[in-house]
Chain A
Amino acid sequence: MRLPSALGSNESLARCLYQRNHFKVETHSVLPKAFEPPSSNLRLSVFRICGLHIRDVWTYLQTNAINKMPQPPTFYGIADITVSVVQATGLTVDPDDTPPRHASIVGWPEGDTNKSKRKLLSQELASKAKLVLRNRN
Chain B
Amino acid sequence: MTKVYTPVGTTSSLAFPSNSGVSDDASAVEREYQEMLGSLFQGQTVAKIYRQTVRIFNQAIEESSFDNWDGQGAKALDTLAWEKALWFSQLLPTDVPVPDIYVDSDGEATFEWYIAPLQVFSVTVRGNGGLVYAGIFGENKTHGTEHLDDEMPAVILDNIYRVLAGGAYLAVA
Contacts and interface: CB of A to CB of B under 8 A. Distances in A.
* Mutual binders A and B: yes
Interface of A: 18-19, 21, 24, 27, 29-33, 36-41, 45, 69-71, 73, 113, 115-117, 119-120, 123-124, 126-128
B116 interface: yes
Contacts of B118: 127
Contact of B132 (A18, A21, A32, A115): A115
Nearest to A122: B134
Contacts of B106: 39, 115
Interface residues on B, range: 20 to 34
B133 A116 contact: yes
B68 to A, nearest CB: 7
A38 B122 contact: no
Contacts of B148: none
Interface in B73-127: 73-75, 100, 102, 104-106, 110, 112, 114, 116-118, 120, 122, 124
Given A38-B74, A39-B75, A73-B71, A119 B133 contact: yes
Interface of B: 68, 70-75, 100, 102, 104-106, 110, 112, 114, 116-118, 120, 122, 124, 132-136, 141-145
B136 A127 contact: yes
A126 B117 contact: yes
Contact of A31 (B105, B114, B136, B141): B114
Contacts of B116: 27, 29
Contact of B143 (A29, A36, A37, A119): A119
Given A127-B117, A128-B117, 4 more contacts: A32-B112, A38-B72, A69-B72, A124-B141
A73 B100 CA distance: 21
A116 B145 contact: yes
A119 B125 CA distance: 13
Contacts of A113: 145
Given A33-B102, A39-B74, A24 B114 contact: yes
7 contacts: A21-B100, A24-B114, A27-B116, A39-B106, A71-B71, A73-B71, A120-B136
